[in-house]
Structure 1
Amino acid sequence: MTSSRSETAYQRAAAAFRNPTLDLLHGRYAPFVVTALSLVFTVDRPAVAVADAHVEVGEIADELRGAGYDEGERRVPAGGGRDICRYWVRVGWLVPQIEDAQEVYRLSAQAVGALEIAGRTGGGRARVSRSRVRTLLDSVDQLTQDAETDPNVRIARLTAERAEIDAEIDRLMRGEVEPVDDEQLLEEAENVLHLSRELPADFSRVAESIQAMQRDVVAELRRDIRPTGDVLREYLHRGQHIMQQTPEGRAFVGALGLIGDPEHIDQLTVQVHDLLAQPFSRLLAADQRGELHAIAKRVEQGVADVLTAQRRASHVVTAQVRTHDPVRDREVDELLREVMSGMQTWMSSSRAADRVEPLRSLPAAGIGHLRQTLSDPRPPRTPEPLALGDADAEFLDADTRDWGGPMYDELEAYVSALDGAFDLGDAFTGASNRRPVDLVGLLEIAHRNGMTDGGDVSIVEALRPDGTRRRFAFGSVTARTVKDADDD
């Protein structure tokens, strides 16, 4: 029985020491890690650009090495800032994220907790104070009240509290004010600081739990082979209610009613400002005054980080669902597995100096000439030429002929009957066919036989088959008859 209890306790302790928080504090370079993280990441600067973090961590390491903190127990890790930060990412102390199209580092919840433990252990007095005991008693009393289901008991407790409040009001109205000792106020301020130091780690744990939920949802979605409609309904619901999917998220939703209201944050800021103006605040150290002044900002930043993580997770899950393609995802997974298998095979037989020539372009497929059409749309032979001036051609409808093109036969016969050169405008006026198209045909015949442009303007009136008239103006033309053209 004793062995089993000991073994269980040992396994629990071993699991605790595998937590990144204790690993950070117990590690070989723990003092340097705590120093660098506390200098780079502050309340006013929770996120740091990756390039800036590499430079700053490298400068801190160089300064400590130059001061002799690289020998014996005072150790500084080897390498530059980039190598150190990449190791911290690998062990879970830093979390890389994309914010505003820029890659940044944020402290993980474990790193925030480790810094809080180190700061509390090395910077303050750990003592049993009246304020801490009162905080515990108030918490137990509040828990008891919340758990009570008997209305009579609740009424009796509230009546007693009201009697105490009325008695306190009466004493104050009589001028019986008992000032609180500065030492007691200092203890209570230290208790407030102690409670506030735990908030960043709590907020970080909520944000990381949401991110872990997001990764699980996306991983399950990639493995899902159900119909897209079922997947869409389920995962969109989970994406919209992702805050309720984790214990930390549900706890944060309950606390958000107290700290998420901007009016509460403003009230907290005013209260802290008033406290710093009290005489007892002079007993606080400079760093304690700074922490007390930054409480409201720390709470506001923590709420913003959690809500940002929630929006990002919902966006990622929703986008993944919209682009969900099980067949494509399986193809990508198979391709990645083939690549990893090929890499392992190559690594087992390669040497350190071997190089792999990268594939700079995809090879072209030799497919030859593809058939472009199923049949040749061209006719087997050209059509017969149209016969010009076919005397046997007849129109089915006289009206169709009236609205057709120029009557070349009649126009040529009319021009041939004229004597010598003639004015085209006068010739059109004396013709029997005076449609607009016949004017065009007469101009064509004159151009074919030879014509001379004049400097005047000829105006003629054409008559359409429906009886409407139109006037046309053109440069005067003197034409020759067909007989004159043949003589030339």
Structure 2
Amino acid sequence: MTNTRAEAAYRRSVTAFKNPTLELLHGRYAPLVVAVLSIVFTADRPAVAVADAHAEIGEAIDQLRAAGYDSDELRLPSGTAREICRYWVRVGWLVPQIDDDVEVYRLSAHAVGALEIAGRASGRGTRVSTSRVRTLMDAVERLADDAETDPAARLARLTAERDALDAEIARLRDGELEPLDDEQLLEEAENVLHLVRELPADFSRVAESIKAMQRDVVTDLRQDVRPTGEVLREYLQRGQHVMESTPEGRAFAGALRLIGDPEHIDRLTTQLRTLLAQPFAGLLGAEQRGELGAIGRRVEQGVQEVLTAQRRASHVITAQVRTHDPIRDRQVDDLLRDVMSGLQAWMQVSRPNDQVEPVRGFPVADIGHLRQSVSDIRPPAAPAPLAAADDVEFLDADTRSWGGPRYQELEEYVLSLGGNFDLGAAFEAATDETRRPVDLLGLLEIAHRNGMIESDAVSVVEARRPDGTSRRFAFGAVTARALKDQKAEDDD
């Protein structure tokens, strides 16, 4: 059966009215929603803290009720401002997000479009004018020129443009200038405002498309439908598609090229200030003049919104990839399926008053007592004591020369010094057999045991190894006490 044109048009209309934009304008409380959102969210304030939004919206509703607008003809929604905002989030008019660790609300692209439609319907929109028609004709002409593939035709067009510019330059040099009247300039300004009002919705659509792409990528990773590399490749391709192959992406790319050159922004700001100083600007309303002066700021805010959404999406996807564990996720899914199967089986045999004892902890494996050894390896008795150093016989003198400090020789040498002595000088005066690096450590140990005095001076000594090589050491100067002084004090 072939659908009629009326049926096709009606289905398209039904689909269009399911869009949140038309749903907002068609709803019962549409006048309140448009009024409140337009005063809370402005060009200078695209994001509002959740607590502030609740307070301002609640205050606005209370003021309207006090003014008598809560009648049968103009009903106001019941509930608190928090409940109203939650409903607006649920139907897609507000978008909650985190900015600098603060939860804020932003208008969705549907809400921005609805506010623009309501603004045009209330008389703020531009009318059919010369500037609007010229804008359309210029766009069509530029499209035709870009689509032209004949070099001769394009050359003829460029030549005609050059001739027109030369004629205009000649008239200006002759002093012939025909200024436009204020009415025509006013039409041009209204056309500019009309074009600018379309930008916020475009920026919001780009940001929301990036968020939707982020949700899809994270869902695919969590479900482990495909390999991680394949999902990431699709993410990169979709990111390029969003930025280059959609009307919203092209609008953002153009704005990014504009905002990326500081000279463009400076020139735009200067031109806007010059326009607002012209006499025709007095014909614009206060709100229109404010919108005209805020064009540069609105473009910057829109670009920042898209870049923030892109950075947030990259951060979320990167974190998901780093923590993604297909094996663990599959085990969790299997466990949940087992739980659901067990619950379904229990529901078939249980009674209405049956209770399930909750699991208060995971079971612990009981491994009992493990054998420590196959036999008793403890020795039958304590080991024999070590032999005295004097009883140890070395294989040769060379082995003994590479051993530890010669404590007996060092103590005899210190005893022969008498009185206090400088440890560095004493080490330099010792024989070669007791001037090894290890003997310097032994001498310091003896001095510390007998008592020594450290100073800020630095002593430098040269130690000699058994193979004839030498090494210099530096340490804090030490004045040591002789062994006989210590023994004399012990006798006293």
TM-score, L = length of structure 2: 0.74
Give distance in 2, aligned partners of 1:118 and 1:400.
Answer: 104
Give distance in 1, aligned partners of 2:28 and 2:142.
Answer: 43
Give distance in 2, aligned partners of 1:253 and 1:331.
Answer: 43
- Runs of 5+ in structure 2 lacking a partner? 413-417, 422-426, 447-481
Matched, 1:187 2:187: yes
Give distance in 2, aligned partners of 1:245 and 1:324.
Answer: 30
Match of 1:10 in 2: 10
Match of 2:281 in 1: 281
Call closer, same or farther: CA 1:241–1:136 in 2, change over 3 Å: closer
Give distance in 2, aligned partners of 1:467 and 1:70.
Answer: 107
Which range is displaced more, 61-70 or 274-283? 61-70
Give distance in 1, aligned partners of 2:296 and 2:13.
Answer: 36
Call closer, same or farther: CA 1:168–1:87 in 2, change over 3 Å: same
Give distance in 1, aligned partners of 2:344 and 2:122.
Answer: 48
Contact 1:131/1:188, CA 8 A, preserved across alignment: yes
Which range is displaced more, 185-194 or 81-90? 185-194
Call closer, same or farther: CA 1:191–1:244 in 2, change over 3 Å: closer
Call closer, same or farther: CA 1:64–1:381 in 2, change over 3 Å: farther
Corresponding residue SS for 1:176: coil
Give distance in 2, aligned partners of 1:403 and 1:162.
Answer: 102
1:102-141 equivalences under 5 Å are: 102-124=102-124, 127-141=127-141
Pairwise CA RMSD of aligned residues? Answer: 4.3
Call closer, same or farther: CA 1:222–1:270 in 2, change over 3 Å: same
Give distance in 2, aligned partners of 1:27 and 1:283.
Answer: 35
Matched, 1:20 2:20: yes
Q: Deviations over 1:301-349 (max 9, x none)?
A: 11121122222222222332232211233345566778999999999x9
Contact 2:244/2:250, CA 8 A, preserved across alignment: no
Which range is displaced more, 335-344 or 364-373? 335-344
Call closer, same or farther: CA 1:438–1:157 in 2, change over 3 Å: closer
Call closer, same or farther: CA 1:474–1:201 in 2, change over 3 Å: same
Give the deviation of 1:7 after TM superposition.
1.2
Give distance in 2, aligned partners of 1:52 and 1:366.
Answer: 51
Give the deviation of 1:258 after TM superposition.
4.8
Which range is displaced more, 261-270 or 271-280? 261-270
Contact 1:225/1:326, CA 8 A, preserved across alignment: no
- Look up the equivalent residue of 2:275 and give its one-letter code: L
Contact 2:95/2:105, CA 8 A, preserved across alignment: yes
Corresponding residue SS for 1:78: coil
Corresponding residue SS for 1:28: coil
- Look up the equivalent residue of 1:52 and give its one-letter code: D
Matched, 1:202 2:173: no
- Look up the equivalent residue of 1:154 and give its one-letter code: R
Match of 1:85 in 2: 85
Matched, 1:100 2:100: yes
Give distance in 1, aligned partners of 2:346 and 2:361.
Answer: 22
- Look up the equivalent residue of 2:381 and give its one-letter code: T
Corresponding residue SS for 1:179: coil
1:219-368 equivalences under 5 Å are: 219-224=219-224, 230-231=229-230, 234=233, 237-238=236-237, 241=240, 243-244=242-243, 247-248=246-247, 250-252=249-251, 254-256=253-255, 258-260=257-259, 261-332=261-332, 363=361, 365-367=363-365
Contact 1:20/1:92, CA 8 A, preserved across alignment: yes
TM-score, L = length of structure 1: 0.74
Give distance in 2, aligned partners of 1:72 and 1:342.
Answer: 54
Give the deviation of 1:248 after TM superposition.
4.3
Give the deviation of 1:386 after TM superposition.
3.8
Corresponding residue SS for 1:104: strand
- Look up the equivalent residue of 1:50 and give its one-letter code: V
Residue in structure 2 matching 1:437, options 396, 404, 408: 408
Give the deviation of 1:174 after TM superposition.
1.9
Call closer, same or farther: CA 1:250–1:285 in 2, change over 3 Å: closer
Contact 2:96/2:104, CA 8 A, preserved across alignment: yes
Matched, 1:144 2:115: no
Q: Deviations over 1:130-184 (max 9, x none)?
A: 1111111111111111111111111111111222222222222222221212111
Give the deviation of 1:206 after TM superposition.
1.1
Contact 1:204/1:306, CA 8 A, preserved across alignment: yes
- Look up the equivalent residue of 2:258 and give its one-letter code: I
Call closer, same or farther: CA 1:397–1:178 in 2, change over 3 Å: closer
- Give me the identity figure in percent: 58
Corresponding residue SS for 2:144: helix
Corresponding residue SS for 2:160: helix
Contact 1:21/1:114, CA 8 A, preserved across alignment: yes
Call closer, same or farther: CA 1:344–1:234 in 2, change over 3 Å: same
Match of 1:57 in 2: 57
Contact 1:110/1:201, CA 8 A, preserved across alignment: yes
Give distance in 1, aligned partners of 2:194 and 2:341.
Answer: 52
- Look up the equivalent residue of 2:152 and give its one-letter code: N
- Look up the equivalent residue of 1:319 and give its one-letter code: A
Corresponding residue SS for 2:73: coil
Larger radius of gyration: 1
Give distance in 2, aligned partners of 1:346 and 1:276.
Answer: 76
Which range is displaced more, 230-239 or 52-61? 230-239
How many residue pairs get matched? 427
Match of 1:163 in 2: 163
Give distance in 2, aligned partners of 1:114 and 1:344.
Answer: 47
1:27-46 equivalences under 5 Å are: 27-46=27-46
Corresponding residue SS for 2:4: helix
Corresponding residue SS for 1:105: strand
Corresponding residue SS for 1:70: coil
- Look up the equivalent residue of 2:408 and give its one-letter code: V
Call closer, same or farther: CA 1:61–1:288 in 2, change over 3 Å: same
Contact 1:112/1:201, CA 8 A, preserved across alignment: yes
Give distance in 2, aligned partners of 1:357 and 1:59.
Answer: 49
Q: Deviations over 1:99-132 (max 9, x none)?
A: 1111111100000000001011103365321111
Match of 1:474 in 2: 483
Which range is displaced more, 371-380 or 311-320? 371-380
